[in-house]
Amino acid sequence: MSKPKNDPGEFEVIKNILSPLAAAMPGSLGLTDDAALLDLQAGEQLVLTKDAMVAGVHFFANDPPEYIAKKLLRTNLSDLAAMGAKPLGYLLATAWTDACDEQWIKNFANGLKEDQELFQIGLLGGDTVKTTGPLTLSLTALGTVKIGKALRRNGAKVGDLLYVSGTLGDSALGLQSLLGQLPPVQQDHTEYLQNRYYLPQPRLNLAQSLVDLATSCLDISDGLLADMGHVCTQSNVGAIIHRNRIPLSKAASSLPEKGKEFWDSIVGGGDDYELAFTVPAAKKTQVENLAKDAGEIITHIGEMTLGDAPVFVDEIGQEIHLPKTGWTHF
């Protein structure tokens, strides 16, 4: 037990670096009290999620601190998006290492600041401690939905259409690129894929517009097939997912080999933070127009079926067995 005495570190960091992040949140009480306060409007429900990240497992210890901060925040915002929620604010717990000096922490806070402005949220509270192990971060994100309107994983019905947002697999390929495991591609493709790994794009606006349309929704964090497994289990349905409909980025498409390893990365790699959601077949035009109007790309990749698990099929409807079925973080 090595509690340092009279180390101004914690209070100074809170006062000088973290408090400004809380300035726009009256409920943070300027980070000067034991807890934060939050009001809900009538008819609203609170949506809460909490993720943890450890250096060497969820990010590289020498990643730019701004990117680490943004990934931490955005993966949590993606969980809020999965429920159709509008984000409000967040609490942050950080276990810094000795390598996290004042400049590092300032850069980390600057990443949060930029994303706070982008997503219109603020810091509500939290805790800062020191660790002798890898940098460990935890964030609790708070949002709201209209009561009873939250998107869930358990509402998909046989016959519903399965959609995903954006393109899949970019983040997994970006990680492989950073690890030197990807065949050479054009420099701008490399940058695109690595950027997709570093900076998830939580699909908050799209998700909020789906609350009256989608029968189920989640964000893809463990890989499309693994996550659709959760939807199938929770909804007591199966799914057919067509390989030739999976949306690929130009960068992913540019890879020379598209064998099983490639498709493993695309539908099993995880960290996509795209939405997978189901809508009744009768709503096909409505949901596609809605996405078009909102400037969001969505792709119809399959259908919900009788069954209890997703089936990934090729052009002639034959099942494709992939060695991996999704990352687990534990």
Q: Which of residues 301-320 bind a second copy (CB under 8 A)?
A: none
301 burial level (CB within 10 Å; 0-12, 13-18, 19+): buried
Is 80 or 241 the residue whose CB approaches a second copy more closely? Answer: 80
Q: Residue 189 Cβ, how far from a second copy at the closest point, in Å?
A: 21
For the segment 86-145, give every residue that binds a second copy (CB under 8 A): 91-96, 124-134, 136, 138, 140, 142-143, 145
Exposure letters 155-184 (e unless 16+ CB within 10 A, then b) = bbeeebbbbbbbbbbbbbbbbbbbeeebee
Pairing of strands 122-130, 86-96: parallel
Query: Alpha helix (H) ranges present in 181-223?
Result: 187-198, 204-209
Is 243 or 324 the residue whose CB approaches a second copy more closely? Answer: 324
Q: Residue 229 Cβ, how far from a second copy at the closest point, in Å?
A: 10
Is 201 or 254 the residue whose CB approaches a second copy more closely? Answer: 201
Q: Are 329 and 257 in contact (CB under 8 A)?
A: no
Q: Residue 256 Cβ, how far from a second copy at the closest point, in Å?
A: 24
The first and second tokens of residue 267, run together, are 């539908």
Q: How many CA atoms lie within 13 A of 48 on its CB side?
A: 5
Going from the C-alpha of 23 to that of each of 14, 26, 87, the distances in angstroms are 12, 7, 17
Each residue 233-272 as x (binds a second copy by CB under 8 A) or -, in order, gives -x-----------------------------------x--
Is 96 or 192 the residue whose CB approaches a second copy more closely? Answer: 96
Q: Residue 34 Cβ, how far from a second copy at the closest point, in Å?
A: 4
Pick from 31, 72, 83, 248 the residue near a second copy by CB under 8 A: 83
Going from the C-alpha of 84 to that of each of 129, 218, 324, the distances in angstroms are 33, 9, 29
Each residue 13-32 as x (binds a second copy by CB under 8 A) or -, in order, gives x---------------x--x
Q: Determine the Cα–Cα distance for residues 151 and 215; give it in Å rounded to an integer.
A: 7
Pick from 16, 23, 26, 35 the residue near a second copy by CB under 8 A: 35
For the segment 219-238, give every residue that binds a second copy (CB under 8 A): 219, 230, 234
DSSP state of 319: B
For the segment 149-178, give every residue that binds a second copy (CB under 8 A): 150, 152-154, 175
Q: Residue 234 Cβ, how far from a second copy at the closest point, in Å?
A: 6
Residue pointed to by tokens 């604010």? 89
Rg (CA), the chain: 21
Q: Determine the Cα–Cα distance for residues 269 and 265; give it in Å rounded to an integer.
A: 4
For the segment 40-59, give every residue that binds a second copy (CB under 8 A): 40, 42, 45-54, 56-58
Q: Determine the Cα–Cα distance for residues 205 and 298; give it in Å rounded to an integer.
A: 13
**186: number of Cβ within 10 Å:** 11
For the segment 203-222, give every residue that binds a second copy (CB under 8 A): 218-219
Is 133 or 183 the residue whose CB approaches a second copy more closely? Answer: 133
Q: Is 321 in the site for a second copy (CB under 8 A)?
A: no
Q: Are 119 and 201 in contact (CB under 8 A)?
A: no
Q: Is 2 in the site for a second copy (CB under 8 A)?
A: yes
Q: Are 117 and 87 in contact (CB under 8 A)?
A: no
Is 65 or 126 the residue whose CB approaches a second copy more closely? Answer: 126
Is 110 or 234 the residue whose CB approaches a second copy more closely? Answer: 234
For the segment 176-195, give every residue that binds a second copy (CB under 8 A): 179
Q: Residue 172 Cβ, how far from a second copy at the closest point, in Å?
A: 10
